[in-house]
Every structure is written in C-alpha cells, then in structure tokens.
Amino acid sequence: MSFEHPWMLIGLVGVAYIAYRQVRAVRAGSARVRYPNLALLRPARSSRRIGAVRMLPLLQVLALALLVVGLARPQVAVGVKRIAGAGIDIVLTLDISGSMGTPDMGGKSRVEAARQVLADFIAGAGANRLGLVVFARQAFTQAPLTADHRMVTNLLGDINIGMLDDGTAIGMAIATAANRLRSSEARSKVIILLTDGANNAGEIDPVTAARAASALGIKIYAVGVGSSQAAQLAGRGIAGVGPELDEEMLRQVAGDTGEYFRATDEKALREIYRQIDAMEKSEYLGARQTEYRQLYGRFVWPALALLAVQFLLASTALRKAP
C-alpha cells in the first residue's frame, strides 16, 4: 500500500499527543471529591458504565487517526498501462482556398468533408496536443498547440473559404506549422497537411519548407483531396475548381519520414486520418502509468461512524453530569 499524500501522515503525531493526554486523564479520573473517611467508599465499586465513560474519549482519538490516514489517500497498485499516443504534438494544416469549395466529395464540398473528418480526428486525439493552421494566399495559426481539444474543434468550425485572399501557399503553410512545433519537446512532432492544389503563392517553396521542418525532427503527412470529377466541373464552369493537384510535389514534401495519401471522397479521407492516427500511436505508446485502487473510504467512513457513535453515547447513555 502507498499514499498519494504521504505528508498528511504527519498529523498522526498530533493524534498520538492527544491520545497521551486522554490516557492520562482516564488514569487520573475526571474529577475528585474530598472525603474525611475513605472507609465510607469501600462498599462502592467502579461500575462498567463509569469505565465506559472514561474510555469514551479514546473513540475520538481512534476516529482522528483513521481520518488522518484516509486524508493521506491510501492506495494499492492494480496494474500498469501505457497511454496510447501520448506525447505527440500535431499541427493540422488545412487548405481553405477557393477550390476547396468544389462539391466533389460525395455531395459535400472538400472543405466541408475535411472539417467533419478533422473534427472526428480531434475527438479521438487522446492526450496529444493539437494545433491548427489554415492557408490560402497566406497562412496563419487558427489554434496554437493545446491540449484543449474542445477549443480546437470550435476554432475549426469558424473556418470558411474567403477568410483569406485566394491562392495556395503550401510552402508558407508548412513553415507556419513547423514554427509552431519548433520549440516543442514532444517525442513525436507531426504536420498533417491537407490540400487540393499546387503551390502558387507565398515566398517559400514547399519542398524547401519541408526539408527545414525535417531538420527540426518534424514528420509531414501530406493528404491530397479531390476526385476525377474536378476537370468535368471546371469544364461546366463551376466556380471554385482550381489547378490540378500537384501530387509529385506532395510526395517530396512527405519525404522519407512521412507519407503521401490521396483521397477522392469523404470515406477515403476518413480512412486516411484513421491510418495516420494508428501509425503515430503504434510508433509511440507513451509513458507507463500505474493504475491504483483508492482505499481512503475504508478509513474515512469508519472514522465518521466512530465519531457519530461517540457523540451519540456521550449525549445519551454515557452522558456525564456537569
């Protein structure tokens, strides 16, 4: 057995002192009466009730000792587990250029499908810290790295096409995400980049930005979205359809440490994020965590019961005359 708050056991010293005082009081008696002749008291004998009255304060001492032990939170180890995926910092990087409004993901636009898949990914992130970067012609941090997944989900819901000037600055997006991870001390640092186009804006080349991120120990998973319907939609003059996806560039961005994926519908996109989540969690399972069974109730409840019994007896059957 161990204690979560062992310093609380110092209180037992005070309880021991109280017990010492109570024992002395019991031995000495609680009151004295002068008699001229002790022979008058010889017929009288100490009753059990008188002995019980004298011992009653010791119930308080026992209750106090049990309370101190209970407050120290005694516990017993019942097993050891490892937190899956703990210790991973992930920056979700999302393209919100005009072409992401193309409705070729099973009746949904690319950005709508991406938002729903990312929301589910965030919900299952466990103990990982998450950040969110969005980009079009510029890139900016929508959510810094945080363990507050609800906040990241809320900020994800605020994203809309048109927030930024149109364009696709993939290099700037990678650089912004890498900057968020630069000072991270996590054992695994990951960027998950989702885009549907080719780099056509920004001052930084995507491959150059990816190499710089790799030098910082950051892994990049690149996800390209968009179906073969895009060209047909563009031919019919549907707004939002942008340049063809640059898959070769995204493969170079992923490099040797990450991986490139292609999603042509929402189901495939959801499966890609599930695979990424599984790969990261299997690669780093996290620190071991000992599970305990708490035993404080076995001390606190008997202590409260003893105090209740002591109070009840002192007020009724073992009540002393003032």
**Both 201 and 308 in a single domain?**
no
Is 320 within a domain? Answer: no
Between CA 320 and CA 322, with CA 321 as vertex, the angle to 5 degrees is 110
Q: Where does the chain have alpha helices with state H?
A: 11-28, 48-71, 110-123, 149-157, 170-181, 206-215, 229-235, 247-254, 266-283, 297-315
* 249 and 152 co-located in one domain: yes
pLDDT of residue 28: 62
The answer to whether 125 touches 156, Cβ cutoff 8 Å, is: no
Report yes or no on 60 lying in a domain.
Answer: yes
Bridge partners of 261? 223
CA separation for the pair 201, 91 (Å, rounded) = 21
β-bridge pairing 2-3 and 129-135:
unpaired
My answer on whether 120 and 95 are in the same domain is yes
Give the angle subtended at the CA of 201 by the CAs of 196 and 207, to the nearest 5°. Answer: 70
Which residues have C-beta within 8 Å of that of residue 245, sequence separation ≥ 6?
195, 196, 197, 198, 224, 225, 226, 262
Nearest to 220 by CA among 186, 192, 250: 192
Is residue 227 a contact partner of residue 265, using CB atoms and an 8 Å limit? yes
Q: Quick check: is 305 in a domain? A: yes
Say if residue 75 is in the same domain as residue 131.
Answer: no
Question: Are 224 and 199 spatial neighbours (Cβ–Cβ below 8 Å)?
Answer: no
First to last CA, the chain: 45
Provide the pLDDT for residue 13. Answer: 87
307, burial (CB in 10 Å: exposed 0-12, middle 13-18, buried 19+)? middle
Residue 321 lies in a domain: no
Q: What is the pLDDT of residue 45?
A: 52
Contact 259, 221 (CB under 8 A): yes
The pLDDT of residue 236 is 46
Instruction: Return d(Cα 138, Cα 223) in angstroms, integer.
Output: 19
Q: Is residue 155 part of a domain?
A: yes
Question: Residue 271: inside a domain, yes or no?
Answer: yes
* Total Cβ atoms within 10 A of residue 262: 15
Residues 66 and 185 in one domain: no
Give yes or no: residues 60 and 165 share one domain. Answer: no
Could you give the CA distance from residue 119 to residue 7 in angstroms, rounded to a whole number?
Answer: 43
Based on the domain organization, do 220 and 256 belong to the same domain? Answer: yes
Angle at CA 252, nearest 5°, toward 247 and 256?
Answer: 125
- Are 107 and 253 members of one domain? yes
Same domain? For 24 and 160 the reply is no
Same domain, 246 and 190: yes
CB 14 within 8 A of CB 77: no
Residues 135 and 273 in one domain: yes
| DSSP, res 244 | P
What pLDDT score was predicted for residue 257? Answer: 85
Q: CATH number, domain at 206?
A: 3.40.50.410
* In contact, 84 and 286? CB cutoff 8 Å: yes
What's the pLDDT at 226? 86
Q: Say what the pLDDT of residue 67 is.
A: 86
CB atoms closer than 10 angstroms to residue 63: 21
Determine the structural domain holding residue 154 and report its residue range. 88-283
**Half-sphere exposure for 272 (CA within 13 Å, toward CB):** 24
User: CA Rg, the chain, in Å?
Assistant: 35
Residue 2's H or E segment, with its range, is: strand 2-3
Rounded to two decimals, what is the model's pTM?
A: 0.61
Domains in the chain, number? 2
For residue 38, the tally of other CB atoms under 10 A from its CB is 7
Same domain as 125, residue 98: yes
pLDDT on residue 220: 96
Q: Which amino acid is at 29?
A: G
Contact in structure between 219 and 190 (CB atoms under 8 Å): yes
Look at residue 50 and tell me if it is in a domain: yes
- Residue 206 forms part of a structural domain: yes
User: What DSSP element (H or E) covers 90?
Assistant: strand 88-95
Question: In a structure prediction context, what are the per-residue pLDDT tens digits for the chain, which is 322 residues long?
Answer: 788 888 888 888 888 888 787 777 666 655 555 656 555 555 555 556 556 666 667 777 888 888 888 888 888 887 766 555 457 899 999 999 999 999 988 889 999 999 999 999 999 888 889 999 999 999 999 999 998 999 999 999 999 999 999 999 999 999 999 999 998 888 889 999 999 989 999 999 999 999 999 999 999 999 999 876 554 554 444 444 445 789 999 999 999 889 999 999 999 999 999 999 888 765 544 556 777 788 878 888 888 888 787 777 767 766 655 5
- pLDDT the model gives residue 17: 84
